[in-house]
Amino acid sequence: MRKVDKKDVLDERIFFYNKPFSKRLEYILTKFDHPGFEKGYMLFKTMVVCKPAFWRIYGFVRQTFYNYEGAYKLGQRIGFHGNHGTFKPKDTSIFAKACMKTFFQQTAEPLPHKESRNKNTDGIFYRLPKAYSRDDVYREISLKMEAVNMTPISRVAFDNIWRKDFPNFNIHNSSAFAKCQESLKFITMLQRERRSATSAKLELDREKHLKHQMSGRTVYYSHRELSTSSPSLYLSLSMMLWT
């Protein structure tokens, strides 16, 4: 095996550290993209070297090298189309994001009276029915990915996509159904009532009313989702009603 020339090491290190920080990361990640990487070798100019020699050539500590290696294995490679300093997401993350967007379009309800000031949104809040939870949404996305033979994303990646790309989508809670006259009546009575036994009964009646509202809401959203996924069925039913 040919020895590494000290002058080549010095020239390479000067060349590397004269680059801007964002381009350094881009440059290092290209060194992982070669067949010998899977066998434990790294690329230096026209020769291959072991991993410890590689991080010593560039003056890294071992942890920094493993951080770069982990980023490469996760698919976080730098784009070469002017996006210097940004990571390119994995194909599974891109597909999961598309599945989440479709799912939200089918199930979420816009709330135009509430303004969303989050970046990269249309300025409107959207609410999913109370029948769903984040676990349910994650399960739906995982099943869609498995249906096309793709490995589902992790729960951490799912939460990161939701927080970053869909910050204006939330799940309903019981207070979202407290605007009808019956609910307002319960609230007024609870504010005026001083007897603990009567207050407890009113609270139970109010909870029962809210659950009834949520169950009706769930039925509505299930039909709304089915009408989106199977419009021909609902179109035929509507035509039968008109004839």
Q: Please give the Cα distance from 108 to 121 (Å, whole number).
A: 14
Long-range contacts of 69-75 (CB under 8 A, 24+ apart): 69/32, 71/29, 72/29, 72/32, 72/33
- Could you tell me if residue 182 is inside a domain? yes
pLDDT at 138: 92
- Same domain (yes/no): 157, 206: no
pLDDT digits (tens, 9 = 90+) for 192-234: 777 888 888 888 888 887 777 777 666 666 666 666 666 666 5
Find the domain containing 215 and state its range: 176-242
pLDDT at 228: 62
The two tokens of residue 65 are 């090298």
| Closest to 145 in 3D by CA, of 104, 76, 106, 94 | 94
| Closest to 22 in 3D by CA, of 89, 88, 90, 83 | 83
Which of 36, 53, 88 marks a domain boundary? Answer: 88
- For the chain, the domain total comes to 3
pLDDT digits (tens, 9 = 90+) for 65-120: 777 777 777 665 444 444 444 455 577 888 888 889 888 888 887 775 555 555 55
Give me the sign of the Cα torsion angle 220, 226, 231, 237: negative
**In this structure, what DSSP letter does residue 180 have?**
S
- Same domain (yes/no): 181, 159: no
- Same domain (yes/no): 47, 121: no
pLDDT digits (tens, 9 = 90+) for 154-179: 888 899 889 888 888 888 665 554 45
Residue 171 dihedral angles phi and psi, to the nearest 5° = -105, 140
The two tokens of residue 215 are 């169950």
Q: Is 189 exposed, middle or buried (0-12, 13-18, 19+ CB in 10 A)?
A: middle
Which of 172, 192, 210 marks a domain boundary? Answer: 172
